[in-house]
Chains A and B, each alone.
Chain A
Amino acid sequence: MSSFCSRFLIVSLLLSHFHVYSQDKIYFNSGSITCKIIDITPAIVTYLPLKSSKSVPVLVNTTQLLFNDKGVYINPSKMDFSFKKNQELIKKFLLHDSTGLKTDYIYKTDNNVINGTIDKSKEDKNFVYLENDGTKIEKKSIVAIIYKNGHHQIIGPVSRAADVLWAAYENDFKSGRVANTIATKDSVPAIYTKTAMARERKEITAQNDITKKDTSAKSEMPLRIRDVSKSSSFDLPPLRKQEFEQKANEKVTQLTNFFKIILTKGEGSELINQAIDQALSLFVNTEATVEVSSLNKDVVSYKIKEYLSHIKIIKYERIEVTWRNVQYVSDLHKRPDGNYSGTITFEQEFKGYRDGQIVYSDVTLKKAIVILKAYEKLVDGKAEELWDVLLGDIGVESTRSL
């Protein structure tokens, strides 16, 4: 965090009242923005700035923390979107589906979390006091506070607070409480409760739990692609058509979001290059072919990498990409390499604006090959077989004006 921001935080503490937010808030690697978060995918967070209806996509890996106005936080750059619990959490986060917290929560530099009601009448520049038992907590040991009214405060570097909050989140996740974090009245945003606080007073800091958690985190190895063709048990599609359809749709949506970043005027070159890299990672390889059509030209095909570099130079002030509500997803066919493939067919409307006017619009029928590929992930020393959907060639069937 910049020295200006640090100073701002110190000043705000000295002024005795916490700076609070009632809107959603995104903390970036540097800086933050108060906004309305409208979509979160594994690659993109989309938000509406205050007093603006123009949505802004940002790459997930540039964000540190996301808060909604109920005091619920997530860190999508560290979340595994293949877990159903995480998908539910994101959905609830976006819907603000929470009944609120019962107490305030104080997150400390030593990864401990204390809950209770902060006594604002006693607060001074060095300590925070809790009502009832009069516990006092040194402010310099606090990285974040989430208030029961949903407001929050980050103290010190965001990255440090993000680590502590994430550690608490992971503990909840492992103990199966993530879904409850938002859904129920009795929810707590972290693993420690009053009981834990009492233990802390006795200088039992639950270090063992934290160590255990760290060890398991380290055992999570990078993904590796498995040679599924050697598996004899690999005879039936591992996903039901519905699941495959959902995953295929997610990939196509992600690709569209990257296109939006690449095509929108004013995005920084670093962000655009990151979007290109991430878009490429959605494809099975860089040799995949993309067909492009427009109202004025014949269909042209490009290698995906070549195409993404090509569209970098086409700039619109704003673009709108609208999907039809239905897509057709074909049956899966087992390939000679043991993976599966199918086709997704969808219609897409495109509108490009310059100077507030639509300068180009069309509707295209697109057909994309999607490949269901197996990989193994080692978690806590155990191999889990997981599946991912990657994009292959994308064809254009027809283009017409809107």
Chain B
Amino acid sequence: MNRFLIKCCLAASFLILHVCLQAQEFKNDAGEKEKHFINQVKQIDEFFERFNDDSNSFVREVYKSYKTKFKIDRKTLIKSLFNYEGKSWNNVLMDSFIKKAMFVKMPTGKNWYGENWFAEANCKFQYNSSVIEIPVILRIMTDEKKRSKWVIIGIKPSPLKERENSRVPIIVRKMKTKFIDPSSHGTNFIELERDFNDKDNLSDYFDSTFFYRQNALPFYHSLINHKIKLVSVKDIKYHFLNVDDYIFTVEYFPRQTLNSGWLISDLKQSTAKQKDIYKRLLLGEQ
């Protein structure tokens, strides 16, 4: 590895990230590959680290290992978390968002909670002889002992219809023994295939509020009656409603440029009422 190259690039890369990312191309040598790996936002956890400018973030550790002073401020870090390819941003909107975002701490470590952010796992299911896509909405649930898990909280509209047996009562256990791992977002929820096949404990993976939502029962009954089978999770989108007056989404951009990985794909101003409507739509309540 060319340490000198990496060191020089580190010093410059973040500072120039938000202005000239489109021009950066991937070169197939070890130093470039490492530089790409360092700059890429590899996990949503890393997105949070950078957003918060955490003192022990991966990027700060890398700088430390190369004995390079970390001079990047939080504002620049947040700017580097936008997707700049194929998208032009309104600078005024972006700056006003960043001002608000500076007051927000994204959930990390012990404070891994999820009141105002959601994961949308776009799942491909085998249904009859075809494959259909159903967006499954998950959120982090944390108890008083700071033990957390992902739970399925809603389903976006799907072609699944109410069936006769959907009147059969659903038993939801108070003492849940099964759970979706709080880190499973790291592997794009591949464990959902296993969870959806666990028919005996299926309700454990769902939030109790799920069953009162509009699209919930046809989906749940289709799962438990083997009418649908998860093929794969196609992609993930995160929805954040935790910055005052704004809603933004984060998606994965797998490309060989420095501006890659988990990045802000959309940003809009939003009142409290608009946020409420957005949330209802997301959870399939309207």
Chain A interface residues (CB < 8 Å from chain B): 235-236, 241, 287, 289, 291, 299, 301, 324-326, 328, 330-338, 341-343, 345, 347, 363, 365, 367-369, 371, 392-395, 397-398, 400, 402
Contacts and interface: CB of A to CB of B under 8 A. Distances in A.
Contact of B183 (A291, A333, A338): A333
Contacts of B194: 287, 289
Given A334-B110, A343-B186, A393-B184, 18 more contacts: A236-B110, A324-B34, A325-B1, A325-B34, A326-B34, A330-B183, A331-B112, A336-B176, A342-B183, A342-B186, A369-B181, A369-B184, A369-B186, A371-B181, A392-B181, A393-B190, A397-B188, A397-B254
A367 B187 CA distance: 6
Interface extent on B, as a size class?
35 or more
A43 to B, nearest CB: 24
A369 B188 CA distance: 11
Contacts of B224: none
Given A347-B33, A397-B254, A334 B183 contact: no
A393 B108 CA distance: 21
A334 B143 CA distance: 10
Contacts, number: 114
Given A289-B194, A336-B143, A336-B149, A331 B45 contact: yes
Interface in B48-107: 56, 58, 62
Nearest to A333: B182
B122 interface: no
A400 B108 CA distance: 31
B226 interface: no
Given A324-B33, A326-B37, A334-B148, A395 B42 contact: no
Interface in B237-270: 252, 254, 256
A295 to B, nearest CB: 15
A326 B186 CA distance: 17
25 contacts: A235-B145, A235-B146, A289-B191, A291-B190, A325-B1, A325-B34, A326-B34, A328-B42, A328-B46, A330-B186, A331-B108, A332-B109, A333-B109, A334-B110, A335-B147, A336-B147, A336-B179, A338-B147, A343-B187, A345-B42, A345-B43, A367-B186, A369-B183, A392-B187, A393-B190
Contacts of A291: 187, 190
B223 interface: no
B254 A335 contact: no
Contacts of B146: 235, 334
Given A324-B34, A343-B45, A398-B254, A333 B187 contact: no
